[in-house]
Amino acid sequence: MPELPEVETTRRGIAPHLEGQRVSRVVVRERRLRWPIPEDLDVRLSGQRIVLVERRAKYLLINAEVGTLISHLGMSGNLRLVEVGMPAAKHEHVDIELESGLALRYTDPRRFGAMLWSQDPHNHELLIRLGPEPLTDLFDGDRLFQLSRGRSMAVKPFIMDNAVVVGVGNIYATEALFAAGIDPRREAGGISRARYLKLAIEIKRILAAAIERGGTTLRDFIGGDGQPGYFQQELFVYGRGGEACKVCGTELRNVVLGQRASVFCPKCQR
The CA–CA distances, whole Å, from 97 to 105, 114, 122, 218 equal 8, 18, 25, 29
Angle between helices 170-180 and 193-212 (to 10 degrees): 130
Bridge partner residues of 70 (DSSP): 61, 116
Q: Is 253 labelled a binding residue?
A: no
* Options 12, 228, 260, 266, the catalytic residue: 260
Q: How far is the C-alpha of 78 from the C-alpha of 183, rounded, in Å?
A: 33
Nearest to 19 by CA among 61, 52, 63, 56: 52
Q: Would you call 80 a catalytic residue per the annotation?
A: no
Q: What is the dihedral of CA 132, 215, 237, 190, to 10 degrees?
A: 0
Q: Would you call 90 a catalytic residue per the annotation?
A: no
Burial 159-171 (b: 16+ CB within 10 A, else e): bbbeebbbbbbbb
* Options 11, 55, 58, 156, the catalytic residue: 58
Kindly state the DSSP code that residue 122 receives in the 8-state scheme: G
Nearest to 60 by CA among 138, 167, 215: 167
Q: Is 91 labelled a binding residue?
A: yes
Q: Is 110 labelled a binding residue?
A: yes
Nearest to 252 by CA among 239, 263, 262, 238: 263
Q: Would you call 260 a catalytic residue per the annotation?
A: yes
Q: Would you call 3 a catalytic residue per the annotation?
A: yes
Bridge partner residues of 230 (DSSP): 216
Q: How far is the C-alpha of 122 from the C-alpha of 141, rounded, in Å?
A: 25
Angle between helices 193-212 and 4-18 (to 10 degrees): 40
At 264 the three-state DSSP class reads: strand
Which residues are annotated binding-site positions? 91, 110, 151
Q: Tell me which residues are annotated as active site.
A: 2-3, 58, 260
Which residues are annotated binding-site positions for DNA? 91, 110, 151
